[in-house]
Structure 1
Amino acid sequence: MSGGEEALRREYVIGDEIGRGRFGTVRRCYAAATGAPFALKSTPKEPLRELEADPLDLALAEQEPKVHLLVSAPPPASRHVVALHAAFEDADAVHLVLDLCEGGDLFSLVSARGPLPEPEAADLAAQLADALAGCHRRGVAHRDVKPDNLFFDAGGALRLGDFGSAGWFGDGRPMTGLVGTPYYVAPEVVAGREYTEKVDVWSAGVVLYVMLSGTVPFGGATAGEIFEAVLRGNLRFPPRAFAGVSPEAKDLMRRMLCKDVSRRFSAEQVLRHPWIVTRGGSAA
């Protein structure tokens, strides 16, 4: 990792803000030598240090560049992962120079259009599964797969971004900690058990459910109610929302949203499912 903000400003021209997250900002930036555009994600450390009740946030922020680099190093894990090009850190903040994805995100797409046609949903699910399979081969679990973290590049390809919650399991160690977003988090995470990279497949299954229906499978008025629904894992396909959805698509969602982790699909198995093979086309 390079030096701090002074080194960053020598190598990049920092532009306007294009996004804001829970702790930091995303700005447009340009390579000083070539003018090539990138996204600059900056996470100040002070707000994280103040969260004494949850030191995990600070640990993840400091770990993010190392984990993200694992999936960005050539050859990249998948072309459907937002690549990390440079990282700068000082006592005050962590700055990451990333691919610039100017096509919006999946959350905005589904919010604007509602449920997507099966061929489009299958194509996007294939791209997401390809990204996850690549990360998992390198020992990285994303742990916060959701439409807000799925971006479209200038060519319309789906890209998995924001590795701020990612975990490393490449040495065989199980992962722990309540990490993720309530609607999308896997039941074993909520239960406080050790878990594997298959938590990402569960989350991707929720994303697929949302793409096909415009609703979430496990809901509630509060985070506690959502967690209770996730723990029950009672997967249903209401006729009004799923009247036109094929049995093959429902079969895949059942295999991804399976409480029994030993029976839950891996990302590689998702890519080989007949519904993905016959309807999804641009993961490679």
Structure 2
Amino acid sequence: MRNKKEQAQGGENMDEALTYLLGRFEKIRCLHKTPRGEVWLGADAAGRPVIYKRLRRTGLPLAKLQALAHPLWPEVYAFVEAAGETHVLEEYVQGEPMTRRLETGRYLTEREARTMLLALADGLAALHGAGILHRDIKPGNLIEQPGGTVRLIDFDAARMMHGGAPDTTYLGTRGYAPPEQYGYGATDARSDIYALGVTVRELLGPAYHGSLARVLDRATEVDPKRRYPSVAALVRDVRYGRRLRMAKGFAIALTVFVFAAAYLFYLAQTHPGKIEELETTPVEELVRHPEELAPDTRREDVRETERKKEGMPPGGTTVTEIGGGAPSDGAKPQAAGSAAPDDANSAAGNSSGASGAPPREEIRAHYYFNDDCWNAWTDAFDYPVNNASNTVYIPAGVWSTWAGDDTARTFPDDAYWHVRVHVTNTTQETFAAPVLHMEYDGGTQTVVQNYEAPPLAPGGSIDFDLPLAGLAIADPGREGYTGHDMTLELRGIDHEIYGARSTISFVPREMPANFGNW
């Protein structure tokens, strides 16, 4: 026990620390205020934005957060506990909360969700390794920064893990927090895993039924014992689970084949007449040769396969095959099965429909590669479908002629290599400040750029033309190479956008021999 003199001295030191903290910034405006505390936007002496929190609780693991300094969460500049309150000065994280995606229907693609899961799991592994639980993971506490990086904020409900006693302070957000967080048991790493699973499932949208669904089902089990025991286990399943299931299926099929072959061999040796009695079909009648399929039918087979992979509604992904040889004598490579549209709307399918009915009032974006619109199928839906994607296969005969080496090649300075985004406004209002946000990941090169356009009047249309010349693709000849992506997002002010987001994947490799039925 400290004596009165020591207590008084400690109080004076605390007052000095609080005075110092409050003197490091100026308040600008209150962002949030509840009986549990208040959050302010401020500016430090250099004019940089900061966040100041006054919380009516103590015991937060802020010192450990400060020491860990992981890029997932805001940097803690200073904190002071005084008179049953905690005062925190921390980094201001610029960007939009993920709730904005839910409000506008811009659901995550499976690729985005997988990337976000792995990034959050990396940060949570560091937290849990230090014995810290966040306890309030939800879309509102995930900030998407320009460039796509997602960061986790608001550690006001965080606490250190303890030895199995049920929680006595019920913090968190219902609907995202697991049952044990409300007095039904002790929270641990599996509690954050539950909230992470609920959050990612919601951000994928209600129609999602892709390959991550099984992972999210396990992450959100009501019984903690049935969940992943750690984020490391979740990461292994996200990265390798599909491969392991395929390998297991192959092993089962091989076992069945071996037993069937052994049984047939047994019949042939012991009952030769039985084999002859079986009806047989000539192998020629079972094989569908590529020339027997119309080009459009072969393309639709590929599209349906890609849609199922991504968990899209029927009619989803477009796959484009570039011509098999390198261009020569100035000729441009052509996309198989594509045709140049008569006007800007013909290839897109024009949302008025074939019946001639008046067009719906909407802002709609159509995405083209080589005059081939890859998200026209979304016109059939009267709600925004923002997970359309296109895969462009570039055979070795094409990319091997590009400038570069075995490390990276670059798209040639050729007008053929471009992406176009056609935007139409059939509403009665002007579409203010349209911006096309582009992110390109080429392995050795990352490009993030905004293309701005003037306001789009009712009944008008605009085109964003994005040349690909000079963009790099890393090591396209490497075995197992899967290509790189360009993600496009149309943004504006106070308008819901149909087709707001889309992705094109460039895959420089030879097409499979059985492309027609792949």
Q: TM-score, normalised by structure 2?
A: 0.40
CA distance 1:187–1:94, shift in 2 (3 Å): closer
2:191 is matched with which residue?
199
1:100 is matched with which residue?
92
- Identify the structure with bigger relative contact order (alpha carbons < 8 Å, sequence gap 6+): 1
The alignment status of 1:42 with 2:76, answered yes or no, reads: no
- Give the deviation of 1:168 after TM superposition: 0.8
Instruction: Answer 1 or 2: which has greater helix percent.
Output: 1
Asked if the contact 2:62–2:79 (Cα under 8 Å) also holds between the matched residues in 1, the reply is no
1:7 is matched with which residue?
20
1:116 is matched with which residue?
108
Out of 155, 164, 167, the position equivalent to 1:176 is 167
Asked if the contact 1:167–1:175 (Cα under 8 Å) also holds between the matched residues in 2, the reply is no
The alignment status of 1:81 with 2:77, answered yes or no, reads: no
CA distance 1:128–1:110, shift in 2 (3 Å): farther
2:235 is matched with which residue?
271
Secondary structure at the counterpart of residue 183 of structure 1: coil
Asked if the contact 1:255–1:263 (Cα under 8 Å) also holds between the matched residues in 2, the reply is yes
1:29 is matched with which residue?
42
Out of 55, 59, 74, the position equivalent to 1:63 is 59
Secondary structure at the counterpart of residue 58 of structure 2: helix
Which runs of 5 or more residues in structure 1 are unaligned? 46-60, 215-240
Matches within 5 A, 1:150-229: 150-153=142-145, 156-169=148-161, 172-177=163-168, 178-190=170-182, 192-213=184-205
**What is the distance in 2 between the residues matched to 1:21 and 1:126?**
33
Secondary structure at the counterpart of residue 221 of structure 2: coil
Secondary structure at the counterpart of residue 87 of structure 1: strand
CA distance 1:176–1:4, shift in 2 (3 Å): same
CA distance 1:104–1:26, shift in 2 (3 Å): farther
2:67 counterpart letter in structure 1? A
- Give the deviation of 1:15 after TM superposition: 3.3
Secondary structure at the counterpart of residue 212 of structure 2: helix
CA distance 1:130–1:17, shift in 2 (3 Å): farther
Out of 10, 16, 20, the position equivalent to 2:32 is 20
CA distance 1:261–1:89, shift in 2 (3 Å): closer
**What is the distance in 2 between the residues matched to 1:116 and 1:202?**
19
**What is the distance in 2 between the residues matched to 1:115 and 1:35?**
35
**What is the distance in 2 between the residues matched to 1:154 and 1:5?**
34
CA distance 1:9–1:259, shift in 2 (3 Å): closer
**What is the distance in 2 between the residues matched to 1:14 and 1:276?**
49
Alpha-carbon RMSD across the aligned residues, in angstroms, is 2.9
**What is the distance in 2 between the residues matched to 1:258 and 1:39?**
35
Secondary structure at the counterpart of residue 128 of structure 1: helix
C-alpha deviations, 1:130-171, integer Å up to 9, x for none? 2221110000111111111122346542221211111211x6
Asked if the contact 1:85–1:97 (Cα under 8 Å) also holds between the matched residues in 2, the reply is yes
2:118 is matched with which residue?
126
2:235 counterpart letter in structure 1? L
- Give the deviation of 1:20 after TM superposition: 0.5
- Give the deviation of 1:100 after TM superposition: 0.8
Instruction: Answer 1 or 2: which has greater strand percent.
Output: 2
- Give the deviation of 1:84 after TM superposition: 1.3
Which runs of 5 or more residues in structure 2 are unaligned? 1-12, 243-309, 311-440, 442-518
- Give the deviation of 1:17 after TM superposition: 2.0
Larger Cα Rg: Structure 1 or Structure 2?
A: 2
Asked if the contact 2:198–2:220 (Cα under 8 Å) also holds between the matched residues in 1, the reply is yes
- Give the deviation of 1:110 after TM superposition: 2.3
1:97 counterpart letter in structure 2? L
C-alpha deviations, 1:30-64, integer Å up to 9, x for none? 333x5443221223x4xxxxxxxxxxxxxxx2122
CA distance 1:19–1:104, shift in 2 (3 Å): farther
C-alpha deviations, 1:91-135, integer Å up to 9, x for none? 374321112112021122322234221112222222222222111
**What is the distance in 2 between the residues matched to 1:175 and 1:17?**
38
CA distance 1:270–1:41, shift in 2 (3 Å): same
Secondary structure at the counterpart of residue 180 of structure 1: coil
CA distance 1:204–1:172, shift in 2 (3 Å): same
**What is the distance in 2 between the residues matched to 1:174 and 1:126?**
30
**What is the distance in 1 between the residues matched to 2:240 and 2:158?**
26
2:94 counterpart letter in structure 1? E
Secondary structure at the counterpart of residue 251 of structure 1: helix
Q: TM-score, normalised by structure 1?
A: 0.70
Asked if the contact 1:149–1:160 (Cα under 8 Å) also holds between the matched residues in 2, the reply is yes
Secondary structure at the counterpart of residue 95 of structure 1: strand
Give the percent of matched residue pairs that are identical in Structure 1 and Structure 2.
Answer: 24
- Give the deviation of 1:87 after TM superposition: 0.7
